[in-house]
C-alpha cells in the first residue's frame, strides 16, 4: 500500500523521487496503534527535513497519515518518506514543498543469524536517513554474490560503522559496544541503549576496528523492522548467536511500551 498525503499516489507524482532519489525517510513498526520510539522517529523526520529541504514538517499530519494505514490487530512496517514532487534538479535550493509518502509492508518473521562480510563504504551524509540507497544496495548485492547474507561497512581507516539498513552492536567482556564512527543514529539502537541501562547491561560507544572483531564474543544488528538479530560470523570469524546479553536485550526491547499514534 502506498499513499501520498493520504490518497493513492500517481506515477507522475513519484517522478522526482524515482529520477533524483532526493528525500529522506523513517521506518517504524506499528502495533495496535502504537510505535516504539515514535517521538524519536518524528524527531528524525523533522531534523532531516530541515537539512535536506530547508523546511519544517507538520508532525501531527505525519501521525494522522500513519494512523490511516495502521490495521487494528495486525502489526505493520510503515515507511514515511518525505520528498518534494516539484523538485527542480537545476535549482534544488528553490523553496521546497515536501510532501508525505506513506507505504506499508508485512512484519518479517523470525530470521536466522546473519553471516556478514566487511567492505569499505561510507554513505553520503551518514547522520541523515536519506533515500540515496544506491551504494548500500550495491554492496548488499556484492555481499550476497560472495556468499554472505549482508555487508558490514567500514570506513577508510578500517573502523566499523554500520550496515546497509541497520546498526550493529558487539558484545565483549560482558558489555555492549556500539561503533562510534560516522553512521546513522538509529532509533532502535537508541532504544536499546536505554533498555540496556535499565537492565544493568553495561554499554558504551567505542571505536571498533577490523582487528578488534576476532576478540568479540557476539554481535547483533538492529533496526525497527527486525529489533535485535544475532550475527553468526563476520569475515568467517565465528560469533555466539546465543549470547545471554542479546537474549536480555531482545526481552527488554520487546517489553518496551509503544507510544500512541
pLDDT in tens, 157-201: 999 999 999 999 999 999 999 999 889 999 999 999 999 999 999
Q: What is the dihedral of CA 221, 222, 227, 233, to 10 degrees?
A: 0
Helices marked H in 175-243:
187-198
Determine which helix (DSSP H) or strand (DSSP E) holds 75, and give its type and residue range.
Answer: none
Q: What is the mean pLDDT of residues 246-257?
A: 95
- Tell me phi and psi for residue 106, to 5 degrees: -70, 155
Residue for cell digits 531534523? 47
Closest by CA position to 49, among listed 137, 161, 131: 131
Enter the pTM of the model: 0.95
Q: How confident is the model at residue 96, as a pLDDT?
A: 86
Q: Provide the pLDDT for residue 95.
A: 83
Give the percent of the chain with pLDDT over 70.
100
Is residue 72 pLDDT above 90, yes or no? no
Mind listing the pLDDT tens digit for each residue in 39-59?
Answer: 999 999 999 999 999 999 999
pLDDT value, residue 258:
95
Q: Which pLDDT score, from 0 to 100, does residue 24 have?
A: 98
What's the chain's average pLDDT? 96
pLDDT tens digits, 75-100? 999 999 999 999 988 888 888 899 99
Amino acid at each position: 500500500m502506498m499513499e501520498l498525503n493520504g490518497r493513492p499516489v500517481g506515477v507522475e507524482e513519484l517522478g522526482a523521487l524515482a529520477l533524483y532519489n532526493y528525500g529522506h525517510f523513517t521506518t517504524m513498526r506499528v502495533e495496535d496503534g502504537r510505535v516504539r520510539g515514535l517521538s524519536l522517529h518524528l524527531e528524525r523526520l523533522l531534523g532531516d527535513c530541515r537539512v535536506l529541504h530547508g523546511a519544517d514538517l507538520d508532525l501531527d499530519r505525519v501521525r494522522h497519515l500513519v494512523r490511516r494505514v495502521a490495521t487494528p490487530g495486525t502489526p505493520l512496517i510503515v515507511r514515511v518518506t518525505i520528498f518534494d514532487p516539484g523538485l527542480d534538479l537545476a535549482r534544488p535550493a528553490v523553496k521546497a514543498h515536501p510532501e508525505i509518502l506513506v507505504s506499508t509492508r508485512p512484519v518479517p518473521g523470525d530470521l536466522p543469524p546473519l553471516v556478514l562480510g566487511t567492505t569499505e563504504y561510507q554513505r553520503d551524509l551518514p547522520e541523515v536517513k536519506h533515500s540515496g540507497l544506491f551504494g548500500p544496495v550495491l554492496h548488499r548485492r556484492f555481499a550476497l554474490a560472495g556468499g554472505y547474507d549482508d555487508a558490514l561497512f567500514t570506513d577508510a581507516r578500517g573502523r566499523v560503522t554500520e550496515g546497509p539498513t541497520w546498526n550493529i552492536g558487539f558484545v565483549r567482556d560482558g558489555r555492549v559496544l556500539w561503533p562510534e564512527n560516522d553512521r546513522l543514529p538509529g532509533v532502535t539502537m537508541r532504544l536499546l541503549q536505554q533498555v540496556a541501562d535499565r537492565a544493568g547491561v553495561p554499554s558504551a560507544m567505542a571505536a571498533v576496528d577490523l582487528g578488534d572483531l576476532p576478540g568479540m564474543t557476539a554481535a547483533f544488528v538492529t533496526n525497527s523492522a527486525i529489533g535485535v538479530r544475532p550475527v553468526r560470523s563476520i569475515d568467517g570469524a565465528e560469533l555466539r548467536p546465543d549470547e545471554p546479553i542479546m537474549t536480555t536485550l531482545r526481552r527488554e526491547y520487546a517489553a518496551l511500551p509503544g507510544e500512541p499514534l
